[in-house]
Structure 1
Amino acid sequence: MTEKIYVGNKWTESTETLKEINPHDENVVAEVFVANKEITQLALNKAVTHWKKTKENGNIVYQRIELLHQIARNIRAKKGKLSELVSKENGRPITLTRNDVDRAVSIFENTADLGKTSLDGKLLRGDVYSAPKGNENRMIFLSGEPVGPVLAITPFNAPIVQMAFKIAPAILTGCPVIVKPSPFTSSSTLEIGKILQESGIDDDMISILPGGIPVVDQVLESYAVRVVTFTGSSAVGKDISRKSASTLKRVVLELGGADPMLVAEDANVEVAASTAAAGRFSAAGQACNTTKRIFVHKFVAKEFSEHLLENVKKMRVGNPLDEKTAIGPVITENALNSLLSLVSHSTEIGGTLLTGGRRMDGKGYYMYPTVLEDRKHFLLDKDIEIFGPILPIYEFDDYSDAINNINSSKYGLQASVFTEDIKRGVKLGRRIETGAVIINESDRLRWDAYPFGGVKDSGLGREGILETIKNYLDTKLYSILIS
């Protein structure tokens, strides 16, 4: 049965559909209707309708807090169905998609809890300033008020988590949302739409529009939408930013990365190697914040490579629904071929293939986890985000050279530093141009409530529950003459 489009608590059809292909066996997972121009305009109209009602009737926060808790309960109740569907859609191992559902539940619950303190206004003293005259007779306060309709564009690699990050704060603040999911994971996103409806979401508040560029472009042209939040590639993020400029939308971009791991000569090499293997190759390396480049000091380079290969060889590649699978397929045939071409090019110009570098036999878009030794530095283009199970190792003997090589990338999402000397780790971290530096742990770390995002081509603004609440609020000043 073809999945219908969710538009403001109603379900509708169009004349066009898209098919989701399971990257494990290349069979059709689901077929969904694609939003056309009329349906997109309907979603915009509903968002505006909800927005006007919110402004006229007020934003009763305790009701939204209870709604968030109800959504969390209903997502938890469908954990099995949701996690299996996502694994079929994008090839992410079932152990990870179960964690994703748990995390989505936590995001809704934490947003509800933070709603009790994060929406407070602020009383200001006017009488500390002599101008304008009469400040001693005024009461001045600031109020954070919902900014208006939001366009949320979600990626394929963690669709439920990313949707939760973008819509939970919107529900709390009273901002209606149009969600444009990845065409590879629209079905699971629509399942969340069903849960929203079951949970009692306000009419007109949320719409989910499967489709492509035409849907996004139409929404971006509308003055009604005031915020765009996007997770995906840097190229698409820049295009969205350009198109949003004409209507002065607030834009939050969580983009790609080429996250480095720096391993000092005094590091716990076994821990660093196991962390690199798990962080890079789980989910077939399809994550924005995951180690994509290793810089290891020459004194421990051989030992590190040996431990890394030991860990990689223990990781099972296969069916994402198998409980023992660590590495599933990449998302498409084209993605797989691009990754194989990168490996081929690297070895042709001097890189050493330590393991992997080839496609698995049989159906599915599977690639063996690949480790490359690159003594020439950047045989793999530092400005290309490698979205797959490939990990290059670079050896260094001078820290300044290593930092310069790290910072020469146009990306700057997260980084990790492994050293037993914490003082050195912090000093190195200050020199690395990224949005976060994780010392002695994986750069896969992300705290749901805290700021997350990158610098340079890795993003604009920050996500995380508290930051997203701020992104969805405008500061309004009220002045009351009291005498």
Structure 2
Amino acid sequence: MPTITTINPATGKELQTYDVMSRQEASDRVEACHAAFLDWRGRTHMERAPVLKAVGQKLRDHADELAALMTRETGKLLKDGATEVELCAAILDYTAANGPDLLADEERTYGADGQRGVVSYQPVGVIYSIQPWNFPLYQPVRVLAASLMAGNGCVLKHASICTGSGLRLRELCIEAGLPEDLFQVVVIDHDTSDALIAHPRVRGVTLTGSDEAGRHVGAVAAKALKKTVLELGSNDAYLVLEDADIETAVKFSVMGRLFNNGETCVSAKRFIVTDKVYDDFVDQFVARMEAITLGDPMDEDCQLGPLSSEEQLQTVKGQVEDSVAKGAKVLCGGEAADRQGAYYPATVLADLAPGMPAYDDEIFGPVASIIRARDDEDAMRLANDSRYGLGGGIFSRNEDRAFRLARDHFDTGMVRINSFGAADPNMPFGGVKDSGYGREHGGFGLKEFINVKSLFLP
């Protein structure tokens, strides 16, 4: 029987071994989820809400345990894990509080005589959730919360390196009162995953991952006529305009590049700096990045932990080396740390051009790309010169102008102004272009996998 073994990326030591399910076992989990859905769909939104709140409280009650588990499996800083747990609880609270109103029937009129119509938001069944390793709790929970409130069931295929986190999440949901079969976790290979997408009980598929993975899952789902939501990679640009406050820009740029060890889809990755402030920003930014020290992610004072795996370390290392071979200049970092574990230092690259991974692609690690722009207009052009479009940022003392640039010209799904952050329960999350489609959070995710049903009364 094939197995999966999780490994602590900070030490290289094995954590746990799990049996990989057969295709039949995985199919049985989907069938069980569907059976539980048939009962769950009969509950009102107000009856579902307390269960979601109970799950959120259960996560808070086990916050220390969950944070430590995520750190052991993925190398994320322990303090970031604690923040992640609280975000998950906040999402569940938000969904419980706002879901009943957002999903309530809507009165409409139709026809020349204004007959009564009703739009009803009805659940569809089992939602298949394929999630990555960088946020082992948050990624599944943001799908789970919306699915449960809408009345659907959920089957999770988590990334293999954080299998333990996915299984523990399910255990805590059941302890909180969620029907046992309504949320399933399957430990399967990619071929079985493709089979589940086509499973007749699966009514929708959502993936967070790379654009390559999105193309594959989207194609398999489309062939089976399944709706998808794809939240894919990005190469987020943060613009430092001519009137930017450099201290603010540097502060949030370092934070934005190193958050979650640089392994975040909405990390600040490309820093497009206008010529007028280029030298000042780069000098201060590089000095701050050089001062970042690697450490044990379990240490509360740690600034930068390991990458999630040896494989990820080699990927980042290769992208940097390829960029340098094509002419990129290393301003700091740039070489894997000579120590045990999958550690890579805070790195800054400059003199970038199209054709380099540091210019074109997403580097999922603590590597910052500096791109010089002639002026503000050129900076905006360069920001949009990407196949991605998830997030981005603008640093400027003129907040109103920055807002207009963000609203009218930034070709992304999200823009931060003079700040950095990842996600908020009340704001929609998602992107455009090769960063995918569909939205989560802010109430939008509640309506991605539902039957919008029109009811015509005489």
TM-score, L = length of structure 1? 0.91
Name structure 2 gaps, 5 residues minimum. Answer: none
Name the CA distance, whole Å, in 2 between partners of 1:400 and 1:377. 19
1:196-236 residue CA offsets vs partner (Å, 9 max, x unmatched): 11112124211101223123111111122111111111111
Shift of 1:149: 1.0
Residue 227 (str. 1) matches residue 224 (str. 2): no
Structure showing greater Rg: 1
Q: 1:309 aligns with which of 257, 263, 286?
A: 286
| 1:173 counterpart letter in structure 2 | A
Pick from 94, 100, 104: which aligns with 2:84?
Answer: 100
**Number of corresponding residues:** 457
Distance 1:227 1:310 in 2: 47
Which moved further from structure 2: 301-310 or 370-379? 370-379
Which residue does 1:249 correspond to in 2? Answer: 226
Residues 383 and 411 of structure 1 are in contact (CA less than 8 Å); yes or no, is this contact kept in structure 2? no
**2:28 aligns with one of 24, 29, 42:** 42
**What CA distance in whole angstroms lies between the structure 2 residues aligned with 1:318 and 1:210?**
31
Q: Which residue of 1 is the match for residue 380 of structure 2?
A: 403
Q: Distance in 2 between matches of 1:348 and 1:150?
A: 44
Q: Residues 316 and 324 of structure 1 are in contact (CA less than 8 Å); yes or no, is this contact kept in structure 2?
A: no
Matched AA of 1:50: A
Deviation for aligned residue 1:416: 0.4
2:146 is equivalent to residue 178 of structure 1:
no
Q: How does 1:23-38 map to 2 (within 5 A)?
A: 23-38=9-24
Distance 1:204 1:171 in 2: 12
- The structure-2 alpha-carbon separation of the partners of 1:240 and 1:204, relative to structure 1 and needing over 3 Å to count, comes to same
Match of 2:370 in 1: 393
The reply on whether 1:70 has 2:54 as its aligned counterpart is yes
Among residues 123, 136, 139, which one is paired with 1:162 in the alignment?
A: 139
Distance in structure 1 (CA, Å) of the matches to 2:433 and 2:352? 26
Deviation at 1:140, TM superposition (A): 2.3
The answer to whether the 8 A contact 2:121-2:453 is kept is: yes
Counterpart in the other structure of 1:82: 66
Q: Residue 101 of structure 2 aligns to which amino acid in structure 1? A: T
Paired AA for residue 167 in structure 2? L
CA apart distance, 1:457:
0.2
The residue type equivalent to 1:67 in the other structure is V
* 1:248 partner SS: coil
Q: 2:413 aligns with which of 435, 447, 455?
A: 435
CA RMSD of superposed structures (Å): 1.7
CA 158–309 in structure 1, closer or farther in 2 if over 3 Å, else same? same
Please tell me whether the aligned partners of residues 352 and 358 of structure 2 are also in contact (alpha carbons under 8 angstroms): no
Query: Shift of residue 408 of structure 1?
Result: 2.1
**Which amino acid is 2:16 matched to?**
A
Determine helix, strand or coil for the equivalent of 2:360.
Answer: coil
**Structure 2 counterpart of 1:12:** none
Question: 1:9: which partner in 2?
Answer: none
* Counterpart AA for 1:286: E
Distance 1:351 1:359 in 2: 17
- Cα contact 1:315–1:325 (8 A) shared by 2: no
CA drift at 1:478 = 2.1
Q: Distance in 2 between matches of 1:364 and 1:473?
A: 44
Matched, 1:120 2:98: no
In structure 1, the partner of 2:332 is: 355
Matched residue of 1:345: which SS?
A: helix
Change (3 A) 1:204 1:342: closer
Query: Structure 2 CA distance, aligned partners of 1:73 and 1:437?
Result: 31
Task: Return the match for 2:359 from 382, 388, 408.
Answer: 382
1:381: how far off? 4.9
Q: CA deviation at 1:428?
A: 2.9
Letter in 1 for 2:414: A
Is the 1:357–1:370 Cα contact (8 Å) retained in structure 2? yes
SS of residue matched to 1:125 = strand
1:265 pairs with 2:265:
no
Partner of 1:477: 454
Structure 2 partner of 1:291: 268
Report sequence identity in percent. 28
Deviations 1:108-158 (A, max 9, x none): 1111111231121112224xx23xxxx56x542111111221001111000
| Displacement of 1:424 | 3.1
- Residue 117 of structure 1 aligns to a residue in which SS? helix
Superposition deviation, residue 376 in structure 1: 4.7
- 3-state SS of 1:159 partner: coil
Q: Which amino acid in structure 2 is aligned with residue 278 of structure 1?
A: M
Mapped partners of 1:168, 1:309: distance in 2? 40
Q: Tell me by how many angstroms 1:36 deviates.
A: 1.3
**SS at 1:410's partner residue?**
coil
**Contact residue 329 and residue 367 of structure 1 kept, 8 A:** yes
8 Å contact from structure 1 (residues 282, 326) kept in 2: no
- Partner SS, residue 258 of structure 1: coil
- State the Cα distance separating 1:282 from its structure 2 match: 2.8
TM-score by length of 2: 0.95
- Specify the alignment match of 1:11 in structure 2: none
> Do 1:259 and 1:289's aligned partners in 2 also have CA atoms closer than 8 Å?
yes
Structure 1 residues not aligned, in runs of 5+: 1-14
Q: 1:245 to 1:215 in 2, by over 3 A?
A: same
